[in-house]
Chain A
């Protein structure tokens, strides 16, 4: 055989550009986990995975009529280009929304973005050089980690507890970074009903966090998609309300109105704002006028505060169902957070069980969650799973938790038979 072979065919690699991609695209490959999430989207699966808002709770007929009127009366503006900073009228209304969290911003400080995800991308674009340190909570929002990774940041996680980011851990991370001859570019935090952990930064810690960052010259990026969705209290005063120069605030209408309109915003000190506008201009020229005016009209003409109250009640029912089901059915070795708002419970699995390795069995059992590994830049977090309760109704949540509990029981038996799953950190 060897030596006798005559090459008869040329290699086919399907992708003729395979040698031409940028280094940052090397890891963009097909993934088993993504394939599993394709199944999770099917109605047969109880999905506690994706963090989708419950838009069916909107008065869709009213919104539809409003959009029809918008096009009929303002179509020539709604269907035209606009400025990169965003529609002035919308920015005024955004300031009204932020006032609920005691932010006294001027519309000129606001930059409209494609959801807050684009604000994350723009911030990464203007701040991050390859290898720069970015401090984030442990765990942190997967979309932010993705945005920072795209600019080749060195993400450093800072510990949290049930009261959110731990000030001492933040100080230590800053010092450790400095001792290595490096300086962190910013702290990224989701202070309210955090994604994925569901915890909220305690009011008593907020000034300390700001003080620590101010002393270190560290910019704070406050991402607050869930701030108006607290169950037990009025909206919490934003970090931005106490430090206009040291905090870039990110907001979105994805959770309080509709994710599909893709409208978010950033409020930033003037120098940063100007760069964000220029970066947005080069990225998308301008944002969708239609979406912006839809949100503006919604805020101008609809009872949006009452709608948020309705959303809060709906999510609270689902949160309660989730916690009840977890208490009733989860194996004793599991523990979980108890969110006071937002969408997420952070489940800690029994020792030796890996949430990513467990996912195929869960999908086969027709329940889905997000493995904790996605929320750590280094892929650790396998002992955790994020459960999102925003979409299924309470009975489906109970059924989903029942299925998940059964899957975990099987994993416990496998762990006892074969030892801990590999790759647990």
Chain B
């Protein structure tokens, strides 16, 4: 007997990932309908609080990506309201959403992560961008990968193959945030590993190998059906598959995440998995990797969404 009388899927938000979030939210709502649960979509706007107060939901499924959705803010508010929700608590989201913090905690858990520096815009300005850039290249070498310290969907992110490319890459990064995470680029196989916890502890889903048709796994490659090939499970040795699963579970655990997460990993030529980042509100679109992994592992997407909500409702606000 379902304990889900009223379900709200949160989608939208004001981050550049709004459109992705709306797709994710609609897909979750449709999956819930397949699972026999009626849900409504709500945006994180000025109408939300009165909506949640007027008709308190059994549980909320947050599908807002980026700022507000993944930085813990909206979950903090749900906590204040005492509304049960799927996913990690605000304090864990704050750590996971900040990539340098997540990397530091993953390192503490014994997980390899690419060497990196994290620098705010003001540091380049105050110390002189050219000198700082020279220092970064001297210290980390090339190639590099630059991304905003907070955010997703590869917005503002990109590789740097030569020192001359670094200033414009940092500039593009600063369009999406005021702090840049500059990592050593690790060539290898890109995989995304979902983790689901339905009450038996965090369980890894099969690793999804990502092979962009051309160039990088950028925004277009992520959200244009057909531009990227996915292999589930990833074409890796069983031993390596086991290690990437361990990394995803370790990241989920060390960050104190709850219910579901997705960890992005590069496996280098030696089979070493390198932790890149973790997502607390993973994409649920038609081209997102988590639903693919669920489907291929026998967890139906619809059934998993319903189970997560039932678990949240039982847990309470």
Contacts and interface: CB of A to CB of B under 8 A. Distances in A.
Nearest to B125: A417
Interface in B1-60: 12, 14-20, 22, 45
Given A39-B18, A357-B172, A363-B16, A2 B228 contact: no
A44 B223 contact: no
Interface string A40-65: 00111100000000000000000000
Contacts of B156: 360
A34 interface: yes
B217 interface: no
Given A9-B232, A29-B224, A413 B20 contact: no
Interface in A334-379: 357-361, 363-364, 366
Contacts of A34: 19
Interface stretch (A12-20, A91-99, A313-321, A393-401): A12-20
A11 B15 contact: no
Contacts of A414: 121, 171, 174
Which of B156, B209, B229 counts the most A-chain CB atoms under 10 A from its CB? B229
Interface stretch (B90-98, B197-205, B234-242): B234-242
Interface string B162-174: 0000011011101
A332 interface: no
B30 to A, nearest CB: 16
Interface centre among B18, B227, B235, B292, by most chain A C-beta atoms within 10 angstroms, is B18
B103 to A, nearest CB: 23
Contacts of A413: 125
Q: How many residues of A sit at the interface, in one of the four size bands? A: 35 or more
Decide if the interface of chain A is mainly helix, strand, loop or mixed. loop
Interface in B233-266: 233-237, 240
Contacts of A2: 269
Contacts of B269: 1-2
Contact of B271 (A1, A13, A14): A1
B172 A18 contact: no
A400 to B, nearest CB: 15
Contacts of B220: 29-32
Interface residues of B, number: 52
A7 B211 CA distance: 14
A359 B269 CA distance: 38
Contacts of B113: none
Contacts of A36: 16
Contact of B175 (A1, A15, A29, A358): A358
B129 interface: yes
A31 B224 CA distance: 9
A180 interface: no
B219 A30 contact: yes
Contacts of A417: 124-125, 129
A360 B233 contact: no
Contact of A35 (B19, B124, B240): B19
Contacts of A7: 235
B224 A30 contact: yes
Contacts of A42: 12, 14, 18, 45
B287 interface: yes
